[in-house]
Amino acid sequence: MNHWLMKSEPSTFSIDDLAAASKRTTCWDGVRNYQVRNMLRDQFAVGDLAFMYHSSCPEPGIVGVMKVVKTGYPDSTAFDPKHDHYDAASTPQQPRWYMVDVRLEQRFSRVITLDELRRHATKQLRGLLILQRGNRLSITPVSDDHWRFIMSLATA
């Protein structure tokens, strides 16, 4: 099983939106970065767990846990000219972009803030990609050790 961190701006899609979705499940669409696309297409597996991270907001941080319930498949929003994520170069026959389906597993009682994560960057969270300068990927892998430590923060 893999662990991930998946960022979303809460003004676009928040943990509240995921909680309100039918069966607390939805697709994770709109990724338009080739490196992340490759992860969604090739590395995500049913049963993988991911932290949901709210970004570009007053208090960025991890707000809960999601489970992957469907592996990578073509992102249909790329085929719709009326959609914000439309990409004329992506077709159903030759899809350029992929998405996965996720289900809300756990909403944390508090936000594990970016500042809190940074306080552990030199020891327990050394190497956590979201803490590295210049990292702008919307999805990053999380090691087992980092996963366990962050989960301990959520229950502390």
Q: What percent of the chain stands above pLDDT 70?
A: 100
The mean pLDDT value of the chain amounts to: 96
- Length of the chain, in residues: 156
- Got the DSSP string for 6-69? EEE-TTTS-HHHHHHSGGGEEEE-----HHHHHHHHHT--TT-EEEEEE-SSSS-EEEEEEEEE
- Token look-up 């000219």 returns 81
Cα(152)–Cα(156) distance, integer angstroms: 6
Cα(120)–Cα(77) distance, integer angstroms: 38
**Quick check: 134 pLDDT over 90?**
no
CB 143 within 8 A of CB 5: no
pLDDT in tens, 54-87: 999 999 999 999 999 999 999 999 999 999 999 9
- 3-class DSSP state of 127: coil
Q: pTM here?
A: 0.95
**Element (H or E) spanning 119, and its range?**
helix 114-119
Closest-CA residue to 48 (of 103, 108, 106, 127): 103
Q: How confident is the model at residue 7 (pLDDT cuts 50, 70, 90)?
A: very high
